[in-house]
Structure 1
Amino acid sequence: MAGNKPFNKPQTEPRVRDPQVAGLKVPPHSIEAEQSVLGGLMLDNERWDDVAERVVAEDFYTRPHRHIFIEMARLQETGSPIDLITLAESLERQGQLDSVGGFAYLAELSKNTPSAANISAYADIVRERAVVREMISVANEIAEAGFDPQGRTSEDLLDLAESRVFKIAESRANKDEGPRNIAEVLDATVCAYRAAVPAAARRRHRREYRL
């Protein structure tokens, strides 16, 4: 948690009550890290480049946070300051202020983030969680393609898996570290699938595939 006072979470979609869906794990994310990134940017606009090098709007888990970051980017591009007032006005003009939690939520983001000193570390957390969610999504896609190949050969499916995994590695290459080895990403993708899909469901899929 970035500050002494806990954040209120913005309004998100209602919880799913379907027992089958409820058994699945929640995708990895860190609301606190996202809030600290957004709050830190309002406190120190000079840290924008540090954050923009690490994350994009799609990396934020909640829709309100994605909208807030998009408006921050819009303000940055026009040379406008990013603060509580300018951000609220920009969101209001887009008709999105209420959907992100209103002025009160923006004020909480600013108030409950004591400084932007650790904003790079918070941005790294946001990015890391987003990468894992991408890997889970790709793992699910690959699994579904395997269970329902629709006439594709095993070689076709392998090409699909390699292309999807390589896309993650390519798009997430760190400027300092270089592209990640595809074998690393593939291993991480398999682990992400196992973490996201309960063991019972995986066994059921294997039985269905053998029939």
Structure 2
Amino acid sequence: MNNHLLPQNIEAEESILGGILLDPHAISRVADMLPNEAFYVMAHQQIYQAALDLYHKDQPCDFMTVKSWLKDHRIFTKVGGENKLTQLLDRTVSAVNIDRYATLVVDKYQRRLLINAAREIEELGYDTVTALPSVLEQSEEKLFKVTVDRKRPFSTSTYS
């Protein structure tokens, strides 16, 4: 096993979140193409989930509403609190390129999915107890899932 850092683009993640906090309409441009799991940083996933949840409930999505959502769900401190949200705002000039940044984040996410599938396939290859046709079928299914997921819009889950 190598020590490569998994593909990610933290700056693009921060730009997306900062854009969402700056522009209440920005979330509508990325909600259908960007699942929260695509974010590499867990705090970013949670902040984005807040924005998605607000968006899907037709509520305003901005700095104050996201902050309130995070507090209501008792994860405000966990994501970095006021400092993190302010940092995201400070690092973002506008939401004008949010679509492009989302594409970059999804690209890295899909590469991580591919790497994960490859690792699972490697483990299947070492499993000499399971019949080879079954191993090959399972391997195909894992790769097929990565390619199918790439071609369809993402569904987004929400906190209850």
Q: Paired residue for 1:61? A: 40
Question: TM-score, with normalisation over the residues of structure 2?
Answer: 0.89
Q: Paired residue for 1:44? A: 23
* Identity, % of aligned positions: 32
Q: Paired residue for 1:158? A: 136
List gaps (5 residues or longer) in structure 1: 1-20, 176-211
Count of residue correspondences = 153
Rg larger for: 1
Question: TM-score, with normalisation over the residues of structure 1?
Answer: 0.69
Give 1:168 deviation, angstroms.
1.1
Q: Paired residue for 1:76? A: 55
Q: Paired residue for 2:102? A: 123
Give 1:174 deviation, angstroms.
5.2
Q: Tell me which of the two structures has the higher relative contact order, counting C-alpha pairs closer than 8 angstroms and 6 or more residues apart.
A: 2
SS at match of 1:46: coil
SS at match of 1:34: helix
Q: 2:80 aligns with which of 77, 101, 104?
A: 101
Aligned CA RMSD, in angstroms, stands at 1.5
CA separation in 2, counterparts of 1:164 and 1:78?
A: 34
Give 1:78 deviation, angstroms.
2.3
Q: Does 1:140 align with 2:131?
A: no
Residue identity matched to 2:111 = V
Show CA shifts across 1:55-87 (max 9, x none).
101111111011101111111122222221111
CA separation in 2, counterparts of 1:103 and 1:80?
A: 21
SS at match of 2:66: helix
Q: 1:171 aligns with which of 131, 145, 149?
A: 149
Alpha carbons 2:44, 2:79 under 8 Å: kept? yes
Give 1:113 deviation, angstroms.
0.5
Show CA shifts across 1:100-155 (max 9, x none).
11111101112220011110110001000000000000000000111123x22222
CA separation in 2, counterparts of 1:60 and 1:173?
A: 18
CA separation in 1, counterparts of 2:13 and 2:46?
A: 12
